[in-house]
């Protein structure tokens, strides 16, 4: 079954700290993996897109990793800011029909 | 602003009423997608269009739901005889080519009382 699982479900950290969010998937065939940031009441905004051959991709303070062998991805946030408070959703795209398989997201709360 | 826009942003309706939402995609994007998202969950796929053709519909899209994209530009999603279970955020996204980045609108928050 094509699934994307994220952990933790929610996370609270202090401003300035780093954190890492996890994504495990069982999607096949694999095309690419994306991390989205979704602010409360808003649509998702893409942070990174990673293909099979990419291990790491950065976007400012966001760094995503991908291990295609173990089918795991992580999103690392460095020096967190209050504006990082949001849900972070991992999405895997199937290569056969470009279907998006969505995770349930990790709700991140940054406290001052 | 050349992003995806949705209207209205919020809609409160009584059970049994019909509602219609509109989505304006990025102008050169051929594909348009509709998703539904409930609290604490990722978006669930409802349907998508390639230009004006509706190519796929999810099993989630019951007979009370209908979507159109008459001229291959904007799209509407109508829900007839709304039920409380229809309360959710309805997201629209567009992309230039299949498999490429989908750009999301701000969503329409529907509350059925």
Structure confidence at residue A2 as a pLDDT band (50, 70, 90)? confident
- Which tokens go with B31? 């594909």
Say which residue the tokens 């904007």 belong to: B74
Q: Do A104 and B41 touch (CB under 8 A)?
A: yes
Structure confidence at residue B20 as a pLDDT band (50, 70, 90)? very high
Contacts 24+ apart (CB under 8 A), A68-73: A68/A30, A71/A24, A71/A25, A71/A26, A71/A27, A71/A30, A72/A22, A72/A23, A72/A24, A72/A25, A73/A22, A73/A23, A73/A24, A73/A25, A73/A33, A73/A35
Picking from B44, B45, B105, the nearest residue to A43 by CB comes out as B105
Structure confidence at residue A12 as a pLDDT band (50, 70, 90)? very high
| CA pair distance B65, B68, nearest whole angstrom | 10
The residue-averaged pLDDT of A90-100 equals 83
Residues of A in contact with B40 (CB under 8 A): 104-105, 107
């Amino acid at each position: 079954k094509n699934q994307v699982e994220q952990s933790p479900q929610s996370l609270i950290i202090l401003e300035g700290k780093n954190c890492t969010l996890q994504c495990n998937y069982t999607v096949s065939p694999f095309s690419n993996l994306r991390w989205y940031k979704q602010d409360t009441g808003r649509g998702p905004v893409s942070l990174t897109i990673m293909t099979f051959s990419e291990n790491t991709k950065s976007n400012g303070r966001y760094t995503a990793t991908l291990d295609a062998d173990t089918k795991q991805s992580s999103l690392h946030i460095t020096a967190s800011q209050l504006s990082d408070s949001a849900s972070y959703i991992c999405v895997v795209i199937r290569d056969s029909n470009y279907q998006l398989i969505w995770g349930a997201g990790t709700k991140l709360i940054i406290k001052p | 602003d050349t992003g995806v826009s949705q209207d209205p942003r919020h809609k409160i309706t009584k059970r049994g009423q019909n509602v219609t939402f509109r989505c304006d995609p990025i102008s050169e994007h051929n594909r348009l997608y509709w998703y539904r998202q409930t609290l604490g969950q990722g978006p669930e796929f409802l349907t998508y269009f390639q230009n004006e053709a509706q190519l796929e519909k999810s099993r989630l899209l019951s007979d009370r739901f209908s979507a159109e994209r008459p001229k291959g530009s904007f799209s509407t999603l109508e829900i007839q005889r709304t039920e409380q279970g229809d309360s959710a955020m309805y997201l629209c996204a567009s992309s230039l080519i299949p498999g490429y980045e989908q750009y999301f609108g701000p969503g329409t928050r529907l509350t059925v009382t």
